A and B are shown apart, each in its own frame.
Chain A
Amino acid sequence: MTEPVEASRHKLTVRNLSVFYAEKKALGPVTMDIPEKRVTALIGPSGCGKSTFLRSLNRMNELIPACRMEGVVHLDDQPIYGTGIDAVAVRRRIGMVFQRSNPFPKSIFENVAYGLRIGGLNARPELVERVERALQQAALWEEVKDRLNESALGLSGGQQQRLCIARALAVEPEVLLMDEPASALDPIATAHIEELISTLSDRYTVVIVTHNMQQAARVSDYTAFFYMGDLIEVDRTQVLFTKPSQSKTEDYITGRFG
């Protein structure tokens, strides 16, 4: 099912990953590779397991008490669920942006600096430089450079979401996971975010969950289709949307269900 993906090397390799909530299986087993410095979109109807899959890539699932998993996920050559591997260390390398923008009730500057500060960086000049760089990468710098000390909560929804992206980028992760990052935004703000995602893949491996197939088609290099907790198909986006190999995929992308 999983076509070998050419050109790029694999950043994340997932083998037989299953996730259970209490005794109920929510996902898997999933086997899939995520190519480096590409955008991979995860699509599928609500409850298909795509968000669960995303959250198991940076060990956010284990914050849910009843959640249990099987299988392995490798980041480069390291098993992220291996014994002695610290979830905190994993999350520093694999950042995440959530569906609802969730800036801290702090200033814009302190939001972006948060990850750096908890990582032990407190030297002002370097903080200033890294915050600016992150805001520029998130295409927010021009809009906020004169109000860095104002509350982040005063920003518009789209700006807040880009701030959250900047905050995640500031710690320079290798992978950026995005859980429907534009679903709560208006079309213009969504366009901003999509543009941004395309540029991010120059530096980062991006995995994005989206409800919106057009969005997946616009921003991603690869697309994975999930259905009822299973990975049905993963391929280059262009191929998946034009010549899907599975009939379920075709039914979904042509709008026959979901």
Chain B
Amino acid sequence: MRSLFSRELRSRLGDSALVISTGAATLLVLIILAIIVGDVVHHGAARFSWEFLSTAPSQGMTAGGVFPAIFGTVALVILMTIAVVPAGVATAIYIHEYADRESSLTRLIRVAINNLAGVPSIVFGLFGLGFFIQFVGVGIDRTLFSGHKVFGQPALIWAALTMAVLTLPVVIVATEEALRAVPRELREASLALGATRFQTVIKVVLPQATAGILTGTILAISRGAGEVAPILFTGAAYYLPQLPWQPQNQFMHLGYHVYVLATQSPDVDAGKPILYATVLVLLMVTFVLNLSAFVVRSRMRHRFAGASS
């Protein structure tokens, strides 16, 4: 009787210990997040204004705003998305719908994708420099611009493509997951009606997988909006008097701007409020990009969830 009681007590104690420890861990995460956001808002709010958002830096980065960096960041993310989504979705469709799942080629592709996801982002930066700029860009210059430097130097387009390579595994994996979730019955129904594989993919599988694909896109955007390493050598600039209206222009970037303000500023103390405000803007831009992708996704989900299509 006694031993039974103590066993029960022990298990109850174990239960409470688990609740307390997991709860504490969760609380810790929340506290860290609150400290980061709180600190940034606290120090950044003073400098934060419409003017800060809409003007360019001036007086050696100790005055003015960050508009060119916002513009550059958004442009980078948009171009990256345009590049990564079709490529990633197409790859996932190939692996999941067409390739023989057991073949060694498919396995090799899978391993390659997983490894791609594990490569440090600075390596992508070097890859972008070596491949996109010095190989593709210089190649374009040689053939189209008779050797004049147009594309053979750091540029928005190359930074966006480098970032697209970095986020490619995210889109591929999410899309494949989404394709896997489409019931076999729906594919069979389509095929049994005399649809080709291609028609089945376009008309049945992809609409069903749209929400999942957009989730992958959101993840890619989240990652891309915050990364700095891949664009260090491929297109980000310290300061530019003009906005990057052409793909071969360099651009300013919020993340890189934060790095510049923190380490290269001529007057660190004068720059500090600006630095904080810039971080605040970076957080907000990332948030807005995520949010808009999220809104698009829920719209799409409604559209495909049934009703009139």
Interface of A with B (CB < 8 Å)? Answer: 58, 60, 63, 65, 88-89, 91-92, 95-96, 98, 100, 102-107, 110, 114-115, 117-119, 149-154, 164, 167-168, 171
Q: Are B194 and A171 in contact (CB under 8 A)?
A: yes
Q: Which of A91, A164, A168 counts the most B-chain CB atoms under 10 A from its CB? A: A91
What range describes how many residues of B lie at the interface?
Answer: 20 to 34
0/1 string, B194-207, CB within 8 A of A gives 1: 11100100011001
Across chains A and B, the number of contacting residue pairs, with CB separation under 8 Å, is: 84
CA distance A115 to B191 in the complex (A): 9
Chain B proximity of A247: nearest CB distance (Å): 37
Which residues of B does A touch, CB under 8 Å? 100-102, 183, 185-186, 188-196, 199, 203-204, 207-208, 304-309
Give the complex CA separation of A164 and B193 in angstroms: 10
* A168 adjacent to B193 (CB under 8 Å): yes
Residues of A within 8 A of B304 (CB): 105
Q: Is the CB of B189 within 8 A of A171?
A: no
Q: How far is the CB of A12 from chain B (nearest CB, A)?
A: 16
Cβ contact of A107, chosen from B192, B207, B308, cutoff 8 A: B308
Residue numbers in A under 8 Å from B194 (CB-CB): 88-89, 91-92, 115, 118-119, 171
**Given contact pairs A102-B186, A104-B186, A171 touches B193 in the complex (Cβ within 8 A):** yes
Tell me whether B185 and A98 are in contact (CB under 8 A).
Answer: yes
Give complex CA distance A105, B185 in Å: 12
Q: 5 shortest A-B CB distances, which residue pairs? A: A151-B306, A92-B194, A102-B185, A115-B193, A96-B192
Q: What A residues does B196 contact at CB under 8 A?
A: 88, 118
Which of these, A63, A65, A117, A150, contacts B307 with CB under 8 Å? A150
Q: Are A98 and B189 in contact (CB under 8 A)?
A: yes
Report the bound CA distance from A151 to B309 in whole Å. Answer: 8
Instruction: Determine the residue in chain B with the shortest Cβ distance to A66.
Output: B102
- CB contacts (< 8 Å) of A60 on chain B: these are 188, 191-192
B189 near A105: Cβ-Cβ < 8 Å? no
Instruction: State the CA gap A58–B194 with chains docked (Å).
Output: 10
Alpha-carbon separation in the docked complex, A117 to B157 (Å) = 40
